[in-house]
Chain A
Amino acid sequence: MARPPVSEADLIDRYGPHMNQAPPGGWDAGLVVERQVETHCCFCGQQCGIKLKVADNQVVGFEPWYDFPFNEGKLCPKGVKRYLQGAHPDRLLEPLERDPGSAGGFRPTTWDAALDRTVAEIRRIQDTYGKDSFALLSGVSLTNEKSYLIGKFARLALQTANLDYNGRLCMVSAGAANKKALGMDRAANPWSDIPLADVVFITGANVAECAPITTSYVWRARDRGAKVIVADPRVTPLARTADVFLGLRPGTDSALTGTMLHILIQNDWLDHEFIDAHTLGFDEAAAAVEHMTPSWGADVCGVPEDRILEAARLWGTSATGMLLHARGIEHQSKGVENVLSCINLGLATGKYGKPGCGVTTITGQGNGQGGREQGHKCDQLPGNRDITNPEHREYVASVWGCDVDEIPGKGITAQEIMNAIHDGEIKGLLSICFNPAVSLPDTGHTAEALDRLEFYGVVDFFLSESAHHADVVLPGSLHEEDEGTSTSVEGRTIKINAAVSPPGQARLDWEIFVDLAERLGRGRYFPYRSTREIFDELKVASHGGTADYFGMTWERIEDEHGIFWPCPEPGHPGTPRLYEGGVFAHPDGRARFSAVPFREAAEVVDGEYPLWLTTGRVVSQYLSGTQTRRIGPLVEQYPEPLCEMHPRLAQRLEVDSGDLVRVSSRRGTMVLPARVVESIRPDTVFIPYHWAGTQAANQLTNRALDPVSKIPEYKVSAVRVEKAEGHVEIRDRRVTTLQERAKGEGTSS
């Protein structure tokens, strides 16, 4: 029974989101800072170094960590205010059981009772419907150690094939494309290569808001004289300063990059030596773009022809260049194809394996890079190994001390798991660090699916909107309460240090899973007494895989400010830049061009739904907002979703900035304020996705998946927009006075 026990209003009243506005005790508490802990920000794959100030087992502030080389003290607003997720009134302090009779819909229970009930339900469901009828959904805000543990827990303790993770909503398109073309799933470059580029081409990446620290790398390149090209349906804050702006129509990314390849070929802006010596498949790739003339590209993409020519000229004639892409091109039903067409541009011009050269994804989630390497993705085992490869299975079984047949086969992916729950094929679910009720597309479908579960157990620190559906809630730990490692956007493995211990009865996540394994009768595979012991096993399990951590130690990682994998032997310096000398990770050392014909998105505009919808982030919020919607100063910065639209569209709709509009798709409808801005295409509207319920952009989005990566198509849907009743003032001035703040609503300190 996984329906929310009481009304949403009652759940929110008891469990939030409420706001933490100020440090523990208020701004003037005068707490004496006992120590500063060097660790990293939990919000996003940049994994900026930060020092957390600790007093009385509480994080009370931060100090820039100038010596950490990636960000040298720089932080975005999320990093500055990350400390306010601690000492929070919404923090779950004891295990809970669903109880419609209790205020807020849950009653406290004991750890023993909560764990016993969870295990009893797992057993009942698996005995009745089979092992795979119980699924586990995990997330990549977790450390490498937890990711490894959960991968092993699903396979050996739950014995289910159906484990997947929210990295499925992040960089799987890039991962799949990199593997296919280059033989390895890792960002190709350390970020120190960006300032060495003569041209920086940013496509489908709102760098300023989603990876803010990368902005400074781009400017360092410009300070050397680099040109910047940005392709995006919106003039994002970094795009505003671009030398060439390509304001393309949503869903036409591979048409743009295909046209650029066509132009490179026409003008012979190619590195023939590199193509001959280090690649395969150029002729097929060239044939696929033969018809993609500049005028064809301009027509399909809705971008002036001369700008596409200029972008191709800059990319083709610059000695060095970096192409950075992110969810804009990856969150599509052709996400993998889009990335492959970017890789084609890098290979055609020999921009790989050299200083200032590379095509690389900007990971979105905290441990997006590291999480999947440790094997909590449905098709992978530790070391980025393939769960269907007999040799890989054999090796991991030898590390785990199990029979190889005990490791289940390949499971289904996150959205497919939700579909299977909806269809009644999966009956039970355990989740950690994943808020599918907000983050999966078509939220109406997700809510229906969760309602149908016979049992839903959630490990979390706040009661997320998904946990509203839970039967049992196990209070876990925050990032700053446990130690371990994570692997950043650059492929740099870094050390996360504990600043405080979990409050109340909350426990460390890894201890919860070890306890569950014990109760499932599989404790012999989980003898860990510390996260360090998990890391020591993880290193061995990764050895010989592409993501090889074997040579790393926690001490080295700290001393060297991170180590880039592969690091296969003790003393190995790590590998900041991949593919040096044009040696790729396929057995023959060659990279693969891909033939990428253009096709439309799964849903295209028509008379009924005539506008494109694209979704994304704002700088002050992170993912489904479970943490950042509880941090007052971040909420004030961008309090609710706004529908960005161009003045020419607004005029047709007779809408002014602040007027409420009704946005409808084939999945659902939402009402929200319009923000009328010239920084978006007139045929496109944008809504950020961090909010829940009636404020969720994913009420509108499409469950269409990329056939290879199974990433949902968040970036392209067809919608209708109409004027609705009502108007709100949109405040663009942010600096508030104490008096204004005292009068402000929804805040507490």
Chain B
Amino acid sequence: MIDQMFVIDQSRCIGCEACVQACEECGTHRGQSLIHLEFVDRGATTQTAPMVCMHCEDPTCAEVCPADAIKQNEDGVVQSALKPRCIGCSNCVLACPFGVPKYFALPDQMMKCDMCYDRTSTGLAPMCASVCPSQALWYGTQDEFVATRTGNLLHEFRFGNQLVPTKVATVVDDLLPGPLDVMADAAPAPWQDDPFGLGEEWT
């Protein structure tokens, strides 16, 4: 049983794409990066958001799979579709609340982040969390997190009416409001509304 956990703190991401570049070096999907890294809105901000598979307790991708091709192993890691079973219907791609699975016409299979199972099953950290310069992607034990990092770990999301408990945690300031409401607005730092103090200048 793996006692380390994966944590994403999106706010620390610097968008450097070390994770994207390292993901394709993973032994189980060489040459194909499976992590997502997007600018939220490059016009407005340099904020970027990395997304690995959250490894849901009850994975929606597996629940909607008509071919029963998506399996969760004993460590709770949700894996890529089994090649012989996958029919390429992309139900999982459409259904995942986090937008994680990707369908590849070549080799006609859904592939997704498997938390570098070749590494994590032997005690090594996943590639993305190993290289991440800001440690927005983090891998370690609960005790290590508490000892070295601020923020609280949250394992639950609410998408509309769907409550999604996940193996991978995200970091929030305050646990009291409950599951992270992904539709809610984030509060920016005071200067962020007007980084250059422009007011009406240049309009």
Contacts and interface: CB of A to CB of B under 8 A. Distances in A.
Interface residues of B, number: 54
B195 A76 contact: no
B45 interface: yes
B39 to A, nearest CB: 4
Interface stretch (A140-148, A234-242, A435-443, A470-478): A234-242
Given A304-B197, A733-B38, A734-B17, A66 B104 contact: no
Nearest to B29: A27
A64 B20 CA distance: 15
Given A212-B16, A734-B20, A738-B31, A307 B197 contact: yes
A62 B45 contact: no
Interface in B1-22: 11-18, 20-22
Contact of B43 (A27, A220, A307, A657): A657
Contact of B135 (A81, A216, A652, A675): A216
Nearest to B9: A219
Interface string B34-51: 011111001111111000
B102 interface: yes
B148 interface: yes
Contact of A219 (B15, B16, B43, B134): B134
Contacts of B45: 235, 240, 678-679
Given A242-B189, A679-B45, A739-B106, A215 B14 contact: yes
Nearest to A682: B202
B105 A739 contact: yes
B203 interface: yes
Contact of A235 (B17, B46, B150): B46
B104 A682 contact: no
Contacts of A238: 14
A634 B22 CA distance: 12
A247 B195 contact: yes
Interface string A372-398: 000000000000000000000000000
Nearest to A620: B17
B201 interface: yes
A742 B106 CA distance: 11
Interface SS of B by simple majority: loop
Contacts of B33: 735-736
Contacts of A212: 14, 16, 18, 133-134
Contacts of B202: 646, 648-649, 652, 682-683
Interface in A347-375: none
Nearest to A303: B197
Contact of B133 (A76, A244, A742): A76
Interface stretch (B65-73, B78-86, B124-132, B174-182): B124-132
A737 interface: yes
A739 B107 CA distance: 10
Given A80-B22, A247-B197, A237 B17 contact: no
A236 B133 contact: no
B191 A738 contact: no
Given A208-B134, A682-B198, A75 B46 contact: no
Given A74-B133, A77-B16, A682 B201 contact: yes
A302 B30 contact: no
Interface string A196-228: 000000000000110011011001101100000
Interface string B118-142: 0000000101001111110000000
Q: Closest 4 A-B residue pairs measured CB to CB?
A: A27-B31, A208-B14, A212-B133, A304-B197
8 contacts: A73-B130, A74-B131, A212-B133, A237-B46, A679-B45, A682-B198, A733-B38, A735-B36
